[in-house]
Amino acid sequence: MSTLSFADWMGSIQQRTETALGQCLPAATLLPTRLHEAMRYAVLGGGKRVRPLLVHAAGLISGAAPERLDRVSCALELIHAYSLVHDDMPCMDDDTLRRGKPTVHVQYDDATALLVGDALQTLAFQHISEAPVCDDPLQQLAMVRQLAIAAGSRGMAGGQAIDLDSVGKQLSLAELELMHIHKTGALIRASVCLGVQCGQAPDAAALESLDHVGKVIGLLFQVVDDILDAEADTATLGKTAGKDAANDKPTYVSLLGVSRARALAEELCQDALDRLAPYGDAAQRLAELTRYIVRRQF
Ligand code: GRG
């Protein structure tokens, strides 16, 4: 077991992720330079890197090689970054601030933002498929498929469609959960599942249990995101606070109120921790990360 504190471990994963992303993105000097510069602007120098942290923490459970986890982390973070760029565009959430900087369509233009998202998504699939991330090529193919499903219309993009459709509507708790399991949850769940699969092949029961952990972490991430949107300020978040209420979006806070939303986050956290307990030290980072996601301030 590593002797690093959780904060130092987190810093080291964030640092190696930044380096790996910097290497996998095309150089800003490569033609077409404006597009490549904008891709690097969208991805580098910001963000908590929650999905890479989940990949690495989950990979520790199966003894995965860090270099393989870096590759999978980059793929997930590239897809996440593309989703933020498109989400911020005027045709979607229409936001001007992301990670404390002007959004990509503001800094560049709408057409560039659209292309940045397209190119980041395809780069993610190029990156995860061009070198081994596990021992079995067929398993790797299955992992690429899992990533595609998580990002697509049955995952994140589908969740975004439900989100756009739900503005101004009263959703039930079950409907809200379904939306978030797709929109935010699918990539977070994939981060845990893909991280585990980079190491020694887990048996079906272990994979099912860790998949449940990923699903629960995805939901609790969103519950906390809704609380922060209602309670934190724009400077702390690095993105516009209070947008959900301003846009009349159904959230855990609008449905439950802050204190019941907090209680739900704690309940989900405990569910994940209970599932991780049988893995002992191997799951320590994933357990710490789960607690961090509940307590995070931005
Ligand atoms: C455009 C296909 C498409 C999908 C967009 C994820 C998403 C779907 C939109 C983002 C909108 C949003 C603010 C959702 C709330 C949860 C969330 C994903 C927050 C941003 O993720 P963080 O907090 O961001 O991990 P950083 O900047 O730290 O990487």
Whether residue 36 is contained in a domain is answered as yes
Note whether residue 257 is domain-resident.
Answer: yes
User: Ligand 1, atom 20: nearest CA belongs to which residue?
Assistant: 84
Among 266, 10, 189, 218, smallest CA distance to 274 is for: 266
Q: Does 243 sit in the ligand 1 pocket, CB within 6 Å?
A: no
Tell me, what amino acid is at 124? A
- Cα–Cα dist 186/149, whole Å: 9
Q: Find the 278 Cα to ligand 1 centroid distance in Å.
A: 31
Q: Is 251 in the pocket of ligand 1 (CB under 6 A)?
A: no
Per the structure, how many domains does the chain have? 1
Q: Is the CB of 99 under 6 A from ligand 1?
A: yes
pLDDT digits (tens, 9 = 90+) for 50-73: 999 999 999 999 999 999 999 999
Locate 160 and state its tokens. Answer: 């975004």
Q: Is the CB of 86 under 6 A from ligand 1?
A: yes
**Percent residues over pLDDT 90 in the chain:** 89
This prediction has a pTM of 0.96
pLDDT digits (tens, 9 = 90+) for 168-191: 888 999 999 999 999 999 999 999
Task: Share the mean pLDDT of the chain.
Answer: 95
Question: By residue range, what is the domain housing residue 149?
Answer: 6-295
State residue 265 phi and psi, 5-degree precision: -60, -40
**Local confidence band at 1 (pLDDT 50, 70, 90 cut-offs):** low
- Whether residue 39 is contained in a domain is answered as yes
pLDDT digits (tens, 9 = 90+) for 228-281: 999 888 888 888 888 887 888 889 999 999 999 999 999 999 999 999 999 999
- Kindly report, residue by residue over 14-44, the tens digit of the pLDDT: 999 999 999 999 999 999 999 999 999 999 9
CATH number at residue 138: 1.10.600.10
Residues 6+ away with beta carbon under 8 Å from 15: none
| 102 within domain boundaries | yes
Instruction: Confirm whether 137 is domain-assigned.
Output: yes
Is the C-beta atom of 224 inside 6 A of ligand 1?
no
Q: 101 has which bridge partners?
A: 98
**Tokens at residue 43, please?**
């991805």
Closest atom of ligand 1 to CA, residue 46? 27
Helical axes 6-24 vs 284-295, angle rounded to 10°: 90
User: What is the pLDDT at residue 241?
Assistant: 81
Does residue 79 form part of some domain?
Answer: yes
Confirm whether 1 is domain-assigned: no
* Residue 231: inside a domain: yes
